[in-house]
Amino acid sequence: MNGRMTRNIVLTVLLLAVISRLAIWFTGFIGINLFASYSEPPVYERTSGVHELAMKLPQSMEHTKPLDWEQFVKFDSFAYLKIAGQGYDDYRIDEPHPPANWVFFPLYPLLIKAANAIVGLLVAANPTVVGMVLSNTLLVGALLYVYAICLQQQLDERRALLVLTALLAYPASFYFSLPYTESLFLFLSAASIYYATDRKYALAFAAAALSTVTRVPGFVNLFFVAVSVLLNEGFRPTWRHVRWVLYALLSLVPMGLYLAYMKRLTGDYLAPFHEQSLSWYRFSAAPFANYVHYFEQPYFISAGGWDNGLISFIMSTAVFAVYVAYAAVNGKKLIRDPKQLLLWVYGALLIVIPFSSQPWSLASVVRYMMVSIPFFLYLVKLTGRSETARFAYMTLFAVLQVIYVIGFFNDYPFMA
């Protein structure tokens, strides 16, 4: 990426990723052997200990349940792996049909399919393993881009590594290692920011374009790149602007191809978006309506167990506090520097979108917010003079991540 990305930094980033993933694996292993599953009744036995009747636990290591590959496949992973193996559901949208997988965008399952085919030339390929290796590889690549962005933002090496540590400690960061789109989207988002800031617009538009067929908020990356071009190069038209307009038009091609395919398959260009409200309980709502609703009707677990309201509310508030505090402390600087204001708006949009698709509950908002790279930059910048504040946030992240990981491997749906 640049001359400052030394071999030692690459190895340090890789080590951070490996340590954090091992910690997640260890937490999951302890969790499935020490706590009850959400979907299976625990077995109880009479004991001679403090309690006459207690849940049966493994007494030796050979009796413990190991973590196998399939335990990493839950919730949306099934859809991505199905698309990779069998393609999209073949229904017409105006006919009765079960929830269709059109809402899951195609780039990630296409990458799994391609990687699976390549690996299959050498050994018997397991799509789950391929998906996880792909996600973890993209995670390392994303971390390197985020590190480079930190250098662009004038952070020193220590603070740049703190940004990566905060990102890996974030409660939902285990999704970066699952057959999910989180790693791919973070990778493409970070590449978009880095290349746009470095004025390598062809690469920036390419990364942003691919992000639009990874997840819905990909259009925010396109917005960032397009505005960056205008801020870097000026608003007065020149012949060079023609080339950048061409890049912008080409960046619409991936989504255009996907929507054209949806038209042929379902009869509706906008089937992925219409299906959200038809079958997946996602509705356009006033921004933060679900957050305000929590004040009116606080809940612990939502209907069906899909959200732990208390955890989601705490994490949402923690993220909002950093974002609002950064704007309050650096408001004049943001106004004077349009590029920094653009970065702030970019991160804010990635936070606002999860709070605009569900008017009642806070389901999934913790996971959706973690791709807002500016949040982690601002967290480290704001806590630069307060080790106590930084420790408080890192402790909150670590504690909630333990709860999330144990819940995930024990089939609790509140962290889906």
State how far the Cα of 353 lies from the Cα of 369, in Å rounded to an integer: 9
Which tokens in the block code for residue 87? Answer: 């393609």
Q: What average pLDDT does this structure show over 80-94? A: 95
Domain range for 179 is: 7-415
CB 107 within 8 A of CB 288: no
Give the chain's domain count: 1
Please indicate, yes or no, if residue 2 is contained in any of the structural domains.
no
* DSSP notation for 101-127: GGGS-SHHHHHHHHHHHHHHTTS---H
pLDDT for res 197: 97
Q: What average pLDDT does this structure show over 190-211? A: 98
pLDDT for res 316: 97
Residue 159 pLDDT greater than 70, yes or no: yes
Q: What average pLDDT does this structure show over 166-192? A: 97
State how far the Cα of 338 lies from the Cα of 344, in Å rounded to an integer: 10
Per-residue pLDDT band at 50 (split at 50, 70, 90): confident
Per-residue pLDDT band at 330 (split at 50, 70, 90): very high
Between 278 and 82, residue with greater pLDDT: 82
* pTM of the complete model: 0.95
CB 211 within 8 A of CB 192: yes
Per-residue pLDDT band at 182 (split at 50, 70, 90): very high
Please indicate, yes or no, if residue 1 is contained in any of the structural domains.
no
Please indicate, yes or no, if residue 32 is contained in any of the structural domains.
yes
Per-chain mean pLDDT for the chain: 94
Q: What average pLDDT does this structure show over 144-156? A: 96
Q: What average pLDDT does this structure show over 271-296? A: 90
CB 342 within 8 A of CB 188: no
C-alpha of 112 from chain center: 17
pLDDT for res 241: 83
Per-residue pLDDT band at 3 (split at 50, 70, 90): low
Please indicate, yes or no, if residue 382 is contained in any of the structural domains.
yes
pLDDT for res 1: 61
Please indicate, yes or no, if residue 309 is contained in any of the structural domains.
yes
pLDDT for res 2: 54
Please indicate, yes or no, if residue 204 is contained in any of the structural domains.
yes
Residue 229 pLDDT greater than 90, yes or no: yes
